[in-house]
Structure 1
Amino acid sequence: MAARSTVTLYFDVVSPYTYVGWNLLKRQRPHWKSVDVAFKPVLLGGIMNATKNTPNTAVPAKGQYMWYEIDLLSKLGKFPYVKPPQFPFKTLQAMRVLVAVQQNDSEKLEACADKVIIPNACWGQGKDVANPDVIIEQLAPVFGGSKEKVQQLLDLTAQQSIKQGLIDNTDEAVKKGAFGGPFWVVRKAGSDKDHILFGSDRLETIAALLGESYQTVASPAKL
């Protein structure tokens, strides 16, 4: 049985709902002192293919609703959002870089993922994470401003171990029940039972499962 509560987030930065969920998770982290959070970079396309799922944009009405909802949730959550000019966009390189961090400098994975997610392809700042120069610019501050370190991580993405690492993370998520993203695996301290949850709007449920508080927006947003 786990000595501490754990939350594992399987994510791909291409998912707009992952962007929402990431921001909501950041609001909870300072208050969840007894919870360990792990991050697993995956390829959302691989999960969708394995489960024969289809993206929301494959159904016009669902796609239209998705963009409306993401805009609404960003206003309620008070975090920046701009609809990307092209969707979906390529994230393979970015996710492999995050796997390289996971395998070689794991304590910096969350900070690196945050730098990639928050500005990625117009979710926050209109930057394209398919561009290696953007990855270098965003991640260098995590490594003391060293662009050389980030270039080394980019170089590692050509290695089979990094490619396989992303595949393994994706397969692991599918085996645990993932069919989209964000996908969460939650275990309360003292329990051997995993709870699986899907979506950006599950943070309150996660808090309840763990016996933790849930932090809402400090004051109502004006819509």
Structure 2
Amino acid sequence: MTRLAPIEFWFEFCSPYAFFAGLEIADIACRHGRPIVWRPFLLGAVLQVTGMTPLPDQKLRGAYAVHDWRRLARFHKVSFSLPKVFPFMSLAPARMTYAVEHLAPCMAGPFASHMLSALFERGADIADISVAARLGAELGLDPAMLGAAATDQRWKDALRSRTDEAIERGIFGSPFVIVDGEGFWGSDRLGMVDRWLSVGGW
């Protein structure tokens, strides 16, 4: 039996749109029998290439985005709040995700999803290594391993490599979904992703 290629879910942890997309991506993958690979990257590095500023800092668009995030939360019937420091450096949870993927591949997605939910629904400071490690422990992961991963050069290099890969592949925003080589930017493209998987593209 031919194994179907995974859905690549590229995202920045401090992206609210990634949080909302993360609420749906697993169901889409399940419907089509596809695995998901969760690919956190550093959007700040990408913005340096594109010359854009973080969305909240953009005139007109920033205010709309905040309104849109709150509206999406009502649509999905979930709690939502922006962290006190926003945007922030998401180094710790991103590095931890790659460590988890290496040590327990089946837990990488649940871990990343749990971090996004804790951040935007519970107001957890996932940039704090100890907080992120404790959250991982809620899933049965070793908090000591997670804490060490946040400063381990191996996972620093892994995150840097994935961020470089994102830029090389033309990934310029979060979330960015790649299906069989076809890229879709934004949580509002998930319906199109679902359709593409159903019919094989167009």
**What's the TM-score once normalised by structure 2's chain length?**
0.89
User: 1:198 aligned to 180, 185, 190, which one?
Assistant: 185
* CA deviation vs aligned residue, 1:137-169 (integer Å, no higher than 9, x gap): 2111322xx6xx221222133222211100111
Partners of 1:110 and 1:59 in 2: CA distance: 31
1:215 aligned residue: none
Q: Which runs of 5+ in 2 are unaligned?
A: none
Structure with the largest fraction of helix: 2
Matched, 1:161 2:132: no
Task: Give the drift of 1:109.
Answer: 0.3
Contact 1:183 1:197 in 2 (8 A): yes
Change (3 A) 1:35 1:41: same
Aligned CA-pair RMSD: 1.8
Aligned counterpart, 1:16: 16
Provide the C-alpha distance between the structure 1 equivalents of 2:58 and 2:44, rounded to a whole number of angstroms: 17
The answer to whether residue 174 in structure 2 is matched with residue 181 in structure 1 is yes
Q: In 1, are the aligned partners of 2:25 and 2:190 still within 8 Å (CA)?
A: yes
Counterpart position of 1:54: 53
Aligned equivalents of 1:89 and 1:83: distance in 2? 11
Relative to 1, partners in 2 of residues 1:206 and 1:103: Cα closer, same or farther, differing over 3 Å?
Answer: same
Q: Matched residues in 1 for 2:92 and 2:46: separation?
A: 17
Of 157-166 and 79-88, deviating more is: 79-88
Moved over 4 A (4+): none
Give the fraction of aligned pairs with identical amino acids, expressed as a percent: 25
Q: Partner of 2:6 in structure 1?
A: 6
Aligned mates of 1:157, 1:85 — CA distance in 2: 21
Partner Cα separation in structure 2 for residue 152 and residue 8 of structure 1? 25
Query: Which consecutive unaligned segments of at least 5 residues does structure 1 have?
Result: 188-193, 213-223
Whether contact under 8 Å (1:8, 1:184) holds in the other structure is yes
Q: Distance in 1 between matches of 2:118 and 2:164?
A: 27
Aligned residue for 1:45?
Answer: 44
Bigger Cα Rg: 1
Aligned 8 A contact 2:36 2:109 in 1 = no
Structure 2 distance, partners of 1:139, 1:74, is 24
Deviation at 1:5, TM superposition (A): 4.5
- Given that 2:7 and 2:29 are in contact with CA atoms closer than 8 Å, whether structure 1 keeps it comes out as no
